[in-house]
Copies of this chain bind each other. A is one copy, B any other.
Amino acid sequence: VTTLRVVICGFGRVGRAFAELLVRKEEQLARDYELAIRATAVVDLGGCAVAPDGLALGDLLAHVTNGGTVETFPGAGRPGLSGVDAIRSGLADVLVETTPTNFVDGEPGLAHFRAAIGSGLHIVTASKGPMVVRYGELGALARSAGVRIMTSAATAAALPTLDVALTCLAGTEILSVEGILNGTTNYILSRMRSEGVSYTEVLADAQRLGIAEPDPTFDVEGRDTANKILLIANGVFRTELSLADIPVEGITGITPDRLRQADAAGTVVKLVGRAERKDGQVRASVGPVELPANHPLATVNGSEKAISYLTDTMDRVTVSGGKSSPMGAAAALLKDVINLNRETIAR
């Protein structure tokens, strides 16, 4: 059994779901992967909980659920200890980053990433911020330090995207990738189409149902999709696009009329993140696209997500589904830790 020590940065819904999974899956990880994952530090806003032999995560979760904070966790709480300090303490092999995504400067995740790479920790992240803001820099640092950055949880989470390309399509040349990568906008477009109602009406309803955020800008303007296609395109095509390279259009201008016209033309309007290599150049974009009715993304409805790869030797391969929830994101983090371990030993 290999033991991997992780520091969990961020203890909101995704961080806690990940901790829950570690508790619940302990036996399965030992049996199926000969792997023991110990959380030696959990970092939140007011400090850390630290235990070199591994925190009792079940107790920590109960403590936090009862209104406690990580830094007041009996016997392990370290008020004021920062994430960077915890990462640099030498207590962990992997950083599991779940702090809120911040696209202005990528913080606090970016500082965590730099500290982790500097201390030789691999990184598994649900937070997109650091990689979106500093893809090239972090990639170069990680390569020269011999550490890996795994982004499944940041690239559509429980819908497998990048690993499908890198493992299941290994050896093919990927000609293009197209994805419905944001559940909220797909939900809105699906209902606008099936019910013939306006964008604002469906949005309001989606907000009431908790499907759309109170401030939906990030989703409906296509920026969430842009961040995901950026990471996917860079991984698939081994390039270093930045957000500025990706023209982005959202769905706020879509009318029921346009959807009806598309219907009449035998097409379906979807918000698609797209990337392809053409003449040696990788181009990515985000915007509403009229897909032919027989396109595999055309039948992906509601808040479901999907990704479709066109390859040279395997033709088209499409993946759909995957839970959209903190638990789905946590499951993607766990997957990356498992696969990281497999690949790391390979070095």
Q: Is A171 an interface residue (CB 8 A)?
A: yes
Q: Which residues of B contact A313 (CB under 8 A)?
A: 21, 158, 323, 327-328, 330-331, 334
Tell me if A320 and B342 are in contact (CB < 8 A). Answer: no
Q: Quick check: which of A4-12, A25-33, A240-248, A258-266 contacts chain B, the rest being far away?
A: A25-33
Which among B29, B320, B346 is the interface contact of A346 at CB below 8 angstroms?
B346
Cross-chain contact B171 with A25 (CB below 8 angstroms): yes
Is the C-beta of A339 less than 8 angstroms from some C-beta in chain B?
Answer: yes
Inter-chain contact A314/B328, CB cutoff 8 Å: yes
Quick one: CB contact mask for A279-320 with B, threshold 8 Å, 1 for yes?
Answer: 000000000000000001001000000001001011111111
- Which residue of the partner chain B has the closest CB to A309? B321
A173-B28, A319-B319 given as contacts; is B158 within 8 A of A164 (CB)? no
Q: Across the interface, which residues of B come within 8 angstroms of A331, CB to CB? A: 171-172, 311, 313-314
Q: Which residues of B contact A318 (CB under 8 A)?
A: 319-321
Query: Of B296, B311, B322, which is within 8 A of A315 by CB?
Result: B322
**How many chain-A residues does the 8 Å CB contact rule pick out?**
48
A107: Cβ under 8 A from any B Cβ: no
**A163 interfacial by beta-carbon distance below 8 Å:** yes
What is the interface of chain A mostly: helix, strand, loop, or mixed?
A: mixed
Among A25, A163, A313, A331, residue most surrounded by chain B Cβ atoms (within 10 Å)? A313
Residue of B nearest to A312 (CB): B331
Contacts of A334 in B (CB 8 A): 170-171, 313
- Chain B nearest CB from A312 CB (Å) reads 8
A169-B163 Cα distance, complex, nearest whole Å? 10
Does A317 contact B160, Cβ atoms closer than 8 Å?
Answer: yes
Q: A171 to B30: give the CA distance in the assembly, Å.
A: 11
Residue contact B171 to A29, C-beta cutoff 8 Å = yes
Residues on B with beta carbons closer than 8 Å to the beta carbon of A29: 171
Instruction: Tell me if A167 is interfacial: C-beta within 8 Å of chain B.
Output: yes
Rounded to whole Å, the gap between the CB of A272 and the closest CB of chain B is: 17
Is the CB of A195 closer than 8 A to any CB of chain B?
A: no
* Chain B residues within an 8 Å CB radius of A19: none
Tell me whether A332 is interfacial, beta carbon within 8 Å.
yes
Query: Smallest CB-CB separation from A313: which chain B residue?
Result: B331
Q: Could you say which residues of chain B place their CB within 8 Å of the CB of A321?
A: 296, 308, 314-318
Contacts A299-B299, A346-B345 given; indicate if A317 touches B171 (C-beta within 8 A): no
Q: What 0/1 readout, one digit per residue, does chain A (225-251) give for beta carbons within 8 Å of chain B?
A: 000000000000010000000000000
Interface residues, chain A, CB within 8 Å of chain B? 21, 25, 28-29, 32-33, 158-160, 163-164, 167-173, 238, 296, 299, 308, 311, 313-323, 327-328, 330-332, 334-335, 337-339, 342-343, 345-346
